[in-house]
Amino acid sequence: MSVFFGTAGESESFRAAGHKTSLEVPAYTAGMGLDAFEYQCGRGVRLKEEKAQAIAAEAEKHGIYFSLHAPYYISMSSMEEEKRLNSLNYILQSAAAVRALGGTRVIFHSGSCGKQSREQALAKALDTMRRMVAAVDEAGFSEVTLCPETMGKVGQLGTLDEVLALCRVDKRITPCIDFGHLNARDQGCIRTKADYAAILDRIGEALGDERARRFHVHFSKIEYTAGGEKQHLTFADTVYGPAFEPLMELFYERGLEPVVICESAGTQAEDAAAMKRYYRELG
């Protein structure tokens, strides 16, 4: 495995080029010089198995690594027990879909803290995480890798340390490190290569295994306010950041092999290709 670069969903240029169906995504992705794609199920898992298998066949033909983003309404820390435990069903639906797509990674948001302390929210999320692992195994999806994501809004559960705590529930749980989110929730905290290095060091200290080398990455420049994330931007932005170049340098220097998914607003394929070009030129 090496570094994979791809997009979250379809770029504006996908439709602009005349493509009309997700069956064309693998060929388009390969044509952009990319090798990964994250299928978006944020509003629910509506992908039929037959279509997913057809996409998987195209993905194999073009060498595209598929992952899947689970529904946004997963809430691992909800104070409403029924809502919290419903998250298990969304994860199982996502696991079935990603298997049909030929992938293994399911990325998901932990939810918000609500009117409870961060400690209480994390305790609930840890219990939900343990239940998720058990449910996935019981349903026969033990090969699926669950990837909790770092979040961009201050009120959301998903600081770097909170996500790493969730990953310690089971050695298969792999973090999705969204560097744009981390930068936004802490008011532009990623300014230098050393700032990125500190994050990578923390992942290594907390996990101490292959997950610290082969984790999942979301990357985009994000506008933020006092509450954190406001909106995703493109690489053309010169105000908010963070810059991708120092991170690519660290991936190369440390021999890391993450899956890097670009979440730019509409230009994710072009921006992912820019990251891949920069990374390749380092060698």
1 pLDDT more than 80: no
Q: Is the pTM of this model over 0.85?
A: yes
Mean pLDDT of the chain: 97
- pLDDT tens for residues 138-184? 999 999 999 999 999 999 999 999 999 999 999 999 999 999 999 99
What's the average model confidence in pLDDT over 112-139? Answer: 97
User: What average pLDDT does the segment 84-111 reach?
Assistant: 97
Whose CA is closest to 273, among 63, 14, 34?
Answer: 34
What percentage of the chain reaches a pLDDT higher than 70?
100
244-274 pLDDT per residue, tens: 999 999 999 999 999 999 999 999 999 999 9
pLDDT, residue 146, reads 98
Beta bridge partners of 219: 262
Q: What mean pLDDT is predicted for residues 65-90?
A: 95
Predicted confidence (pLDDT) per residue in 194-237, tens digit: 999 999 999 999 999 999 999 999 999 999 999 999 999 999 99
| Average confidence (pLDDT) over 4-9 | 98
Output the pLDDT for position 283.
Answer: 86
What domains, with CATH codes, occur in the chain?
Answer: 4-281 (3.20.20.150)
Comparing C-alpha atoms, which of 38, 46, 183 is closest to residue 104?
Answer: 38
The pLDDT tens digits of the residues spanning 269-282 come to 999 999 999 999 99
pLDDT for 243 equals 98
